[in-house]
Amino acid sequence: MKRHLTIMSAAAAVVIAMTVWGCGGTANGTSSAGGSSSGGAAGATEVKELRYQGWANSVTLPELAQDLGYLGDVKLYWVGNTISGPQDIQSAATGQTDFGGAFAGAVVKLVEAGAPVKAVINYYGEDEKTFNGFYVKEDSPIRTARDFIGKKIAVNTLGAHSDAVINTYLQKNGLSAEEIKQVQLVVVPPNDTEEAIRRGQVDAGSLGGVLQDKAIANGGLRSVFSDAELFGTFAGGPYVLRTDFIAKNPNTTRTFTTGVAKAIEWERTTPREEVIARFTKILQERGRNENPAALQYWKSVGVPAKGEIKDEDFTRWGKWLKDTGIVQGELDP
């Protein structure tokens, strides 16, 4: 995410993505399922199969939308699971998948690097029920922003949501740039973060969603701060599509974004028990050898405004984006 690692160049991202996902398709849009994601000229036959990466033990909004029938004749083709938002959108940018989602700041970084992608709809966000908290052991001496100096904080990836939130929190609480550099971010898979905190491998860690609720239920951890405390309810990140895909497949693009918006509202208006039951059914029926136990901790969709993208979804992170050198001058949403 940040100062501790060199920001990956666009060229390196292409090489890595094409190497890792070489079996999932090629950059010209040929699907491993036998379809094509190029689509031909606008008005010709459009792509009806979207390649994507999922998240282990979780149900994404497009997966829910498909199960609810909101995608119509558009189908999803799962090529594997992702480990982070930046990796997910890099795969979309290089044609290994047809869409990917990440923190808004990571999308800005990809666009600034010249990637031909466009944000189309927000897919995650924070509210009073669903947020990312930064947790320590109950007996930890860390209670204020200054207590993080010289400490290690576990995040799922560098250069994304948690990095920007931590940086903003430290700045707002008076830490200088030099002091902030002394706060070390350590990449830990989300499923391992709780144990890393408990074992003392890190001093604190970012936990969100069902992983956060599961950790709280286990006891012995407390929150120092959260992103919702900093910003209130807000959209965290969008799905992106390649600009050439949008141009060649306008109807499929509209079906996808509308379906995701409907899925957001379904989660918002459906009783919690019914949402969890639907997630569990989807997980069990798709046969990926996943554990549905954590789904019981689901609380809310978190995404405001049906996923509609607004300028402030990006400008909120303007200072962090400039401080890290991702953008020069003022950010243009």
Number of domains in the chain: 2
Q: Of 229, 247, 262, which residue is a domain's last?
A: 229
Q: Which has the closest alpha carbon to 134: 98, 168, 83?
A: 168
Domain that holds residue 252: 10-127+234-323
User: Looking at residue 118, what is its pLDDT?
Assistant: 97
According to DSSP, the β-strands at 117-126 and 234-242 are antiparallel
Residues 86 and 171 in one domain: no
0.85 cut: is pTM over it?
no
User: Looking at residue 44, what is its pLDDT?
Assistant: 60
User: Looking at residue 123, what is its pLDDT?
Assistant: 97
- Per DSSP, what are the bridge partners of residue 77? 51
Residues 185 and 81 in one domain: no
185 phi/psi in degrees, rounded to 5 = -95, 130
What is the domain-level CATH number for residue 149? Answer: 3.40.190.10
Residues 149 and 206 in one domain: yes
> 328 lies in a domain?
no
> 84 lies in a domain?
yes
Burial class of residue 130 in the structure, from the number of CB atoms within 10 Å of its CB (0-12 exposed, 13-18 middle, 19+ buried)? buried
User: Looking at residue 37, what is its pLDDT?
Assistant: 42
> 332 lies in a domain?
no
Residues 315 and 247 in one domain: yes
> 312 lies in a domain?
yes
Q: Which has the closest alpha carbon to 320: 106, 116, 87?
A: 106
> 25 lies in a domain?
yes
Residues 145 and 286 in one domain: no
| Sign of the four-CA dihedral 245, 250, 255, 260 | positive
Q: Which one-letter DSSP state was computed for residue 310?
A: -
* 110 φψ region: left (φ > 0), alpha (ψ -120 to 50), beta (else): alpha
> 74 lies in a domain?
yes
Residues 154 and 276 in one domain: no
Quick count: other Cβ atoms within 10 Å of Cβ 268? 14
Residues 218 and 240 in one domain: no
Q: Of 229, 250, 265, which residue is a domain's last?
A: 229
Residues 167 and 183 in one domain: yes
User: Looking at residue 4, what is its pLDDT?
Assistant: 38
> 3 lies in a domain?
no
- Which tokens go with 26? 């090629």
Residues 62 and 199 in one domain: no
User: Looking at residue 21, what is its pLDDT?
Assistant: 29
10-residue mean pLDDT series, the chain (333 residues): 36 33 32 41 78 94 98 97 90 97 95 96 92 96 97 92 94 94 94 96 93 91 95 94 98 98 98 97 94 89 94 92 88 89
User: Looking at residue 137, what is its pLDDT?
Assistant: 98
> What is the rounded distance in angstroms from the CA atom of residue 268 to the CA atom of residue 281?
19
Contact 55, 83 (CB under 8 A): no
Residues 138 and 182 in one domain: yes
User: Looking at residue 32, what is its pLDDT?
Assistant: 40
Residues 136 and 122 in one domain: no
User: Looking at residue 101, what is its pLDDT?
Assistant: 97
Q: Of 198, 229, 260, which residue is a domain's last?
A: 229
149-to-185, 204, 279 alpha-carbon distances in Å: 11, 12, 40
Helical spans, DSSP H, in the chain: 10-20, 61-67, 85-93, 104-112, 161-172, 177-181, 190-198, 209-218, 227-231, 243-248, 250-269, 272-286, 312-315, 318-323
Residues 139 and 68 in one domain: no
> What is the rounded distance in angstroms from the CA atom of residue 132 to the CA atom of residue 248?
37
> 319 lies in a domain?
yes
